[in-house]
A and B are shown apart, each in its own frame.
Chain A
């Protein structure tokens, strides 16, 4: 852990015309830290995530990122080329629907290898070896390396998407409902995998989820959003075990117990 934040977010707002996407969100994310953004559909959590990941331009506010050289850079003032380079090297983005984050018509190996080729790797054998290595890490049989993801199950696709994102050793990964749409047993496997990868690689991550169990398992810290605003934030177990706000108490008390 270093003593400087990786991401500094100040007063970020996004309006869709008169409608509020998210409003006045501020926080800092530190290296190795996992932040969960929770809230129900329409609370603005995905809008916020997309603003942070520069997939949407915020209406106001600043987002600064500490580059590998240690400099804090305002993402809005970065050129598009540099921003896109950042996105495919130092960042990852895991979509809820793996089809949005994968190339469904090319093989698993090429899906994982694409980022390597994008940063200039030109040795087929090495690229393939690295891809195979990553398939193993996300528990996909290496003999599936030449299969297309359309032949994969939902859980495998999601794991492939994660491998594809992590192959360049990013420092920050955004995840949008990574376990949404998966069976419970498949979810558990994925959560365990993500938890270990985050720990082993020292990743920072921002995870949007409506599932408080996912937040508890994966995150150190969480933010609760309602109507576009962060209404409560803090240590994950404190927010879940001792919620202060009425809405958070409602959310926590609405969890089904098994």
Chain B
């Protein structure tokens, strides 16, 4: 431990230099002041490739204090490469406490999920964002999309949903489902499943979004209205699952499909691993787990 800290003596706390953190914090403050608005910032080169969360990492680095407890998830899991690497990175460069428990964390950096457990006041959720501009695929010109945001010209967003219904009979967008924040800015919630959209609405926790390659930061302050766009005759709906989690038996959570063998065997389990473990620790049991126990016996 001691050896590690001397080795890293040349790094500032949380990797970024103080001036950079100050610059990012200013962007974050502006983003909080204008919910849903994309604030440009001078994104730095980070010691990881773009697409691995460089935006989220910079936001986290800028808001980290020595007393914070950090949790990092990737698609809901604490134990996948991206999550493990980023957690290890901050442990190294900030020498701070890390956790996998949602309830214990003060800062949760996430890729593509919002934890199942309700976030509370004082917690901050940091999203890794690949493409922050919800209008991008319909209007490629940045000058034009900025103007559209400025003038609240969001008809195009509904064109996208219209196309969905025309092609599929229903709104087929299942992730990165556009939302309107506080009745003003249309925002891309990052590629989280639309299942998580309602959790953003009136959340007690602060939500920050960082896009490293695109150099944008935006935010949803606590207790902010976040409404998913829809049509009157095709209202917004979240995904539903036929069966509960095969491991913990949880219902009304987001499930991942896991392929078990090459004979078509599969199971559906919680995407939020912490939530699943916690439930199992408290004695909840899904069909698959019960079966395992049976055979073990």
Does A touch B (CB under 8 Å) in the complex?
yes
On chain B, the residues within 8 Å of A107 by CB distance are: 163, 166-167
Docked complex Cα distance between A118 and B135 (Å) = 14
Docked complex Cα distance between A163 and B232 (Å) = 24
Which listed residue (A80, A109, A118) contacts B155, Cβ 8 A? A118
Interface centre among B152, B154, B158, B232 (most CB of A within 10 A): B158
Docked complex Cα distance between A183 and B162 (Å) = 33
Contact bitstring A109-136, B, C-beta under 8 A = 1, else 0: 1100111011100111101100000000
Cβ–Cβ contact B156 & A125, under 8 A: no
Cβ–Cβ contact A106 & B159, under 8 A: yes
Q: Is there a chain A Cβ closer than 8 Å to B138's Cβ?
A: yes
Which listed residue (A81, A84, A117, A145) contacts B158, Cβ 8 A? A117
Chain B residue at minimal CB-CB distance from A79 = B151
Chain B residue at minimal CB-CB distance from A131 = B162
Given contacts A117-B158, A124-B233, A124-B234, contact A80 B151 (CB under 8 A): yes
Docked complex Cα distance between A152 and B262 (Å) = 46
Docked complex Cα distance between A114 and B139 (Å) = 13
Cβ–Cβ contact B163 & A106, under 8 A: yes
Contact bitstring B112-154, A, C-beta under 8 A = 1, else 0: 0000000000000000000000000010000000010011111
Main DSSP-derived SS at the A contact region: helix
Contact bitstring A56-87, B, C-beta under 8 A = 1, else 0: 00000000000000000000000011001000
Which listed residue (B147, B152, B159) contacts A117, Cβ 8 A? B159
Contact bitstring A219-251, B, C-beta under 8 A = 1, else 0: 000000000000000000000000000000000
Cβ–Cβ contact B155 & A117, under 8 A: yes
Cβ–Cβ contact B233 & A123, under 8 A: yes
Interface centre among A88, A118, A123, A145 (most CB of B within 10 A): A118
Within 8 A of A (CB), among B217-251: 230-234
Interface size class of A (residues with CB under 8 A): 20 to 34
Cβ–Cβ contact B231 & A122, under 8 A: yes
Cβ–Cβ contact B166 & A115, under 8 A: no
Interface centre among A80, A106, A115, A124 (most CB of B within 10 A): A124
Cβ–Cβ contact B231 & A146, under 8 A: no
Q: Is there a chain B Cβ closer than 8 Å to A189's Cβ?
A: no
Please give the distance in Å from A100's CB to the nearest CB on chain B: 13
Docked complex Cα distance between A41 and B165 (Å) = 44
Cβ–Cβ contact A113 & B162, under 8 A: yes
Please give the distance in Å from B169's CB to the nearest CB on chain A: 11
Cβ–Cβ contact B167 & A146, under 8 A: yes
Q: Is there a chain B Cβ closer than 8 Å to A10's Cβ?
A: no
On chain A, the residues within 8 Å of B166 by CB distance are: 107, 109-110, 128, 145-146
Q: Is there a chain B Cβ closer than 8 Å to A150's Cβ?
A: no
Docked complex Cα distance between A84 and B152 (Å) = 11
Contact bitstring B154-177, A, C-beta under 8 A = 1, else 0: 111011001101110000000000
On chain B, the residues within 8 Å of A113 by CB distance are: 159, 162
Cβ–Cβ contact A115 & B155, under 8 A: yes
Please give the distance in Å from A104's CB to the nearest CB on chain B: 12
On chain A, the residues within 8 Å of B167 by CB distance are: 107, 146
Cβ–Cβ contact B234 & A114, under 8 A: no
Cβ–Cβ contact A110 & B151, under 8 A: no
Docked complex Cα distance between A127 and B159 (Å) = 11
On chain A, the residues within 8 Å of B163 by CB distance are: 106-107, 110
Docked complex Cα distance between A113 and B160 (Å) = 11
Cβ–Cβ contact B159 & A114, under 8 A: yes
Please give the distance in Å from B227's CB to the nearest CB on chain A: 12
Docked complex Cα distance between A88 and B152 (Å) = 13
Please give the distance in Å from A111's CB to the nearest CB on chain B: 8
Q: Is there a chain B Cβ closer than 8 Å to A137's Cβ?
A: no
Please give the distance in Å from A230's CB to the nearest CB on chain B: 33
Docked complex Cα distance between A211 and B234 (Å) = 47
Counting from the closest, the 10 A-B pairs by CB-CB distance are: A118-B155, A117-B158, A124-B231, A117-B155, A81-B151, A123-B232, A110-B162, A110-B159, A125-B233, A146-B166
Question: A-contacting residues of B (Cβ < 8 Å)?
Answer: 138, 147, 150-156, 158-159, 162-163, 165-167, 230-234
> What would 24 A/B residue contacts be, using CB atoms closer than 8 Å?
A80-B147, A80-B151, A103-B159, A107-B163, A109-B162, A110-B162, A110-B163, A110-B166, A114-B159, A117-B158, A117-B162, A118-B154, A122-B158, A122-B231, A122-B232, A123-B231, A123-B232, A123-B233, A124-B165, A124-B232, A124-B233, A128-B162, A145-B166, A146-B167
Question: B-contacting residues of A (Cβ < 8 Å)?
Answer: 80-81, 84, 88, 103, 106-107, 109-110, 113-115, 117-119, 122-125, 127-128, 145-146
